[in-house]
């Protein structure tokens, strides 16, 4: 349990990674830790722990492997074995070994080596987990949309930079606050009810599809959003990951499209009304069919030229003088327009 707690402490893990990334610091840690273990073993004395010459070296080797990695751990094993051999295995201060002491030394090296391998594998697993977590954090932070993690009580537990930009709050102002802070006040009660219903039956779904949703910025202004919901687990507790998309530009484009459609309908109706009036004025019982066809064709062409001028002016209008000049362009030498 203490080891698990240590790895959950991110600052401690970050410091250990810095040590492993610096070879001089890593091997220096091995030498210093073995020296400290030797001094501690000397202070304890042989009488108190007779027959246990390696007792202080086991934790020292594990600490070195945790902080420095595999090869500093191997160095710690070798230094510990030499120190215990010379100082604490009888005969003391001698490199001679009896058979029992030799077996004891070899067992120490084997056991310590297994410990170093286990710790090295644990370090590698932690590195992979931290790399995955770092990649996830980078993805979340670089996402252009707002991402908010909300616990089962409706408290905000995590936000990304996109959320800060969307709502105008700093991260410290949001974490720990109720998520209804980001919802317009008239809709907060409805939102709370929908959130509780989602918690009872969590499933991935997009809330904003097919109906209007709004977010509330820090300054109180509101803007249209689309929110996608995904159930997640955080520290063993259920939570909801919400993806918030600002759809202001989409709404503006939709309104512009509706305006264009309405304008087109209006202009089409006007065009047909004008055509109907022209047709009614052209058809006359006194005219022959050929004359009616000739006059109607000319008036339709004149109408087309007038609409072409209006389109060129982006429907901002055209002067009557310019319309008459274009209509009479073929007879400019015989027609004078004034007034």
Which residue intervals of 202-247 are DSSP H helices?
A: none
Neighbours of 305 (CB within 10 A): 14
Band of the pLDDT at 64, cuts 50, 70, 90?
very high
Task: In whole angstroms, give the CA distance from residue 183 to residue 334.
Answer: 72
Task: In whole angstroms, give the CA distance from residue 254 to residue 116.
Answer: 64
User: Long-range CB contacts (< 8 A, 24+ apart) of 47-55?
Assistant: 53/84, 53/88, 53/89, 53/104, 54/80, 54/84, 54/88, 54/104, 54/108, 54/112
Q: Which two tokens stand for residue 283?
A: 């058809």
- pLDDT tens for 85-105 read 888 887 777 778 788 888 889
Task: In whole angstroms, give the CA distance from residue 62 to residue 13.
Answer: 15
- Placement of tokens 């074995």 in the chain: 81
**Average pLDDT of the chain to the nearest whole number:** 83
The pLDDT value recorded for residue 265 is 86
Pair 32, 38: CB distance under 8 Å? no
- pLDDT tens for 254-266 read 888 888 888 888 8
Band of the pLDDT at 5, cuts 50, 70, 90?
very low
- pLDDT tens for 95-148 read 787 888 888 899 999 999 999 999 999 989 988 888 888 888 888 888 889 999
Percent of the chain with pLDDT over 70: 91
> DSSP of 92-117, one letter per residue?
TT-----HHHHHHHHHHHHHHHHHHH
- pLDDT tens for 230-240 read 888 766 778 88
Q: Are strands 205-206 and 222-234 parallel, antiparallel or unpaired?
A: antiparallel
Pair 222, 211: CB distance under 8 Å? no
- pLDDT tens for 157-175 read 999 999 999 999 999 999 9
Question: What's the rounded mean pLDDT across residues 147-162?
Answer: 91
The pTM score is 0.56
Q: Which two tokens stand for residue 302?
A: 């004149």
Percent of the chain with pLDDT over 90: 30
pLDDT at 10 over 70: no
The pLDDT value recorded for residue 162 is 93
Q: 217 vs 198, which has greater pLDDT? A: 217
Q: Is 247 helix (H, G, I), strand (E, B) or coil?
A: coil
Pair 61, 73: CB distance under 8 Å? yes
Q: Which two tokens stand for residue 280?
A: 């009614």
CATH 3.30.450.20 domain span(s) along the chain: 144-246
Band of the pLDDT at 46, cuts 50, 70, 90?
low
Q: 324 vs 10, which has greater pLDDT? A: 324
Pair 161, 155: CB distance under 8 Å? no
Dihedral of CA atoms 325, 329, 334, 336 in degrees, nearest 10, equals 10
CATH architecture assignment, domain 144-246: 2-Layer Sandwich (3.30)
- pLDDT tens for 272-313 read 888 788 877 777 767 788 878 888 888 888 888 887 777 777
Neighbours of 215 (CB within 10 A): 22
């Amino acid at each position: 349990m203490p080891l698990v707690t240590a790895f959950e402490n991110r600052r401690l893990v970050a410091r250990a990674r810095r040590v492993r990334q610096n070879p001089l610091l890593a091997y220096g840690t091995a030498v210093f830790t073995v020296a400290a273990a030797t001094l501690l073993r000397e202070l304890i004395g042989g009488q108190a722990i007779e027959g246990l010459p390696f007792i202080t070296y086991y934790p020292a080797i594990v600490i070195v492997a945790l902080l420095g990695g595999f090869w500093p751990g191997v160095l710690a094993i070798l230094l510990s074995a030499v120190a215990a051999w010379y100082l604490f295995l009888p005969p003391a201060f001698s490199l001679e070994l009896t058979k029992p002491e030799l077996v004891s030394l070899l067992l120490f090296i084997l056991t310590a080596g297994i410990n170093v391998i286990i710790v090295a594998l644990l370090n590698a697993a932690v590195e992979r987990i931290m790399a995955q977590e770092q990649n996830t954090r980078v993805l979340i932070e670089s996402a252009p949309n707002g991402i908010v993690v909300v616990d089962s009580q409706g408290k905000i537990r995590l936000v990304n930079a996109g959320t800060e930009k969307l709502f105008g709050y700093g991260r410290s102002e949001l974490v720990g606050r109720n998520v209804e802070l980001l919802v317009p006040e008239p809709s907060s009660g409805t939102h709370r009810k929908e959130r509780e219903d989602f918690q009872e039956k969590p499933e991935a779904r997009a809330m904003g599809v097919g109906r209007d949703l709004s977010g509330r910025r820090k300054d109180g202004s509101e803007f249209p959003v689309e929110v996608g919901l995904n159930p997640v687990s955080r520290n063993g507790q259920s939570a909801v990951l919400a993806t918030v998309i600002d759809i202001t530009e989409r709404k503006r484009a939709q309104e512009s499209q509706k305006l264009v459609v309405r304008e087109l309908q209006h202009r089409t109706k006007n065009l047909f009304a004008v055509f109907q009036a022209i047709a009614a004025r052209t058809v006359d019982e006194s005219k022959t069919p050929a004359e009616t066809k000739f006059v109607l064709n000319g008036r339709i062409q004149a109408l087309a030229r007038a609409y072409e001028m209006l389109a060129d002016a982006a429907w901002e209008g055209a002067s009557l003088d310019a319309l008459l000049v274009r209509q009479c362009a073929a007879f400019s030498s015989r027609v004078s327009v004034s007034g």
